[in-house]
Amino acid sequence: MAVRLRPSISVPVHSRHARCSKPFLSPTTSSHFQLLATKMSAPEAENKAPTYTTKTIDSHLHIWASPQEAADKYPYFPGQEPYLPGHVDFLIQHMEEAGVDGALIVQPINHKFDHSLVTSVLKKYPSKFVGCCLANPAEDGSGIKQLEHLILKDGYRAVRFNPYLWPSDQLMTNDIGKAMFSKAGELGVPVGFMCFKGLNLHISEIEELCTDNPSTTVLLDHLAFCVPPITDEEALAVSNLLKLSRFPQVYVKLSALFRVSREKFPYRDLTSMLSQLVCTFGANRIMWGSDFPFVIPECGYKGAREAVSTIANQVPLSSSELEWIMGGTIMQLFQGHWLSP
C-alpha cells in the first residue's frame, strides 16, 4: 500500500519582510529578476511555526560501507570506491555531537543501484533515518519495478533522479523518466533532482515533469547547484530556481553549502540567495542538509549546521523561519517520522 507524503499542515509561512521587496541582483545583470519584483513585494503573510515539536533533521546525506563491510557483504560499485569514511557509526557519532536528531539518507553512487546497505540501516534505525533510493533509468523499464519494490517492500520514501545516469542522448523526460516520475507521484514519494552540472541544463525537463505531474513532490538538491551569480549565465540559473516556486510541489534543499558558495565557512555569500528563496518559496519549502560525509573535510558536520544559523542571522530570518528550515519542513513532508521523544 502506498504511503502518501503530501503535507497536511497548511500554513502561510512566506514572511515577507522588507528584504523581500527587492529582487536579488547579480553584479552584472538585473534583467532576469524583473519579473519577480511584483511577486516579492506582495503583502506580508502571517508566519507560523510548526504545530509540533520540531527536531533538527538533515535532509541530505550519504552513507556507504566501511572497507570491511564492503569486503564482507556490501561491495562498492566498480570504479566508485569512496575516498572518505562514510559508514553509519561514523555518521551517528557526528550527528550526536552536532545535536542532529534524524536524517534522510540518499543512496550513494558508491553502491549505485544496490540498495542493500542503506536498506539494512533503515531497518536497524527506523525512527532515525528515512531512505531516498536512486532511480534506475534502464531502457528495459526494470527501474520502474525496482522503484516500486524499494518503496512498497523496503520502505524508501523518496527517489533521486540523477540525469547523468540516463543514456547520454536522452533526457529525464524520455518515456522511462516520465513513467518513473509519474509512478513516484502515484506512490506518494518525492523526486529529488541532482543538477550537478547546473540547473540551466535541466530546467526544461524539471518544468515539463512538474507541469505534467503536479501531484509529484520535487526536491532540488543543493540549491539546484546555483551559485551566487557573477555572470549572466549564473544569474539566469538563480532566476530559474526562483521561478520554480510557481510549482507548489517544489521544495529546495539548503544543502552542501560548501559546493555552492564562493567563500569558505560559514559561506556568508549565500545570504542574499537564502533571503530570496524564503521570499519566493517560503521557509516551509526549504530544508537544511549537510551532504555528509563530503562536508567533513570542508567545515565538519557540526559546522554545516552552524553555517545555516550564521547566514540566517544575516538575512535576518525569524526564529520560526529557521525552525522550518532546520527540521519543520522535512518533518511536515515525511509525516510520521522523527516525532517520538
Gap between the Cα atoms of 10 and 135, Å rounded? 30
* Matching residue, cell 510520521: 336
pLDDT range class, residue 315, cuts 50, 70, 90: very high
Helices (H), the chain: 34-40, 67-72, 88-98, 116-124, 142-152, 175-187, 203-212, 232-243, 257-260, 271-281, 301-314, 319-323, 329-333
Q: Are 306 and 290 in contact (CB under 8 A)?
A: no
Q: What pLDDT score does 49 carry?
A: 75
Phi/psi at 315 (5° precision): -60, -55
Per residue in 116-160, pLDDT (tens digit) is 999 999 999 999 999 999 999 999 999 999 999 999 999 999 999
Contact by Cβ (8 Å): 72, 109:
no
pLDDT in tens, 223-240: 999 999 999 999 999 999
pLDDT score for 340:
57
Question: For residue 47, what pLDDT is reported?
Answer: 63
Q: Tens digits of per-residue pLDDT, 33-85? A: 333 332 333 333 336 777 667 899 999 999 999 999 999 999 999 999 999 99
The domain 55-333 having CATH identifier 3.20.20.140: the answer here is yes
